[in-house]
Amino acid sequence: MASHLTRFDPVGPLSQMDPFRSFDSLFNAFDLLRPLRAFGSERIRMDVSETDQAFVVRADMPGVKKEDVKVSINGNEVTISADVSQEQEHKEGSSVWRERFQGQQYRSFTLPQQVDEEKASATCRDGVLELTLPKKPGSGGKQLTVQ
């Protein structure tokens, strides 16, 4: 007689629970009913790198005009937001379907060190926002030695 053991994880099914999964799958099943999403996703995708002098943030924001992008810095907290408007039109035979989206996308994050707001700079080219956020001198924190 063979013994079959199965690992039981009491939290497993709950950790994968997504109350909106069936709602999203409804829209995925009907391509025409799926709502437009800014940038093709819900979040602003970004990369953050660090040098000795500054943090460099590159955020993908395709289709957004640089006039619609706002960046705010408060100490070590940075917020990127953009007003987004998109319009799509589909024609099939004698049917025409149009959809418009207007809204705001934003992303907020905290850096490990204060930013020098006076020297910070932002450029937006080809749908990529690049922030150069110089570190504020003397705000790097202190490393304690455990005794």
Q: What's the rounded Cα separation, in Å, for the pair 47 and 59?
A: 6
pLDDT for res 83: 86
**Which tens digit of pLDDT belongs to each residue from 100-145?**
778 888 899 999 989 999 999 999 998 899 999 999 887 556 667 7
Q: State pTM to two decimals.
A: 0.60
Helix H or strand E segment including 12: helix 12-15
Percent of the residues in the chain that have a pLDDT greater than 70, as a whole number = 67
pLDDT for res 89: 82
pLDDT above 70 for 18:
no
Tokens of 121: 């700079």
Tokens of 42: 């819900």
Short-list 28, 51, 135, 36, CA closest to 84: 36
Tokens of 54: 């500054």
- Mean pLDDT, the chain, rounded, equals 78
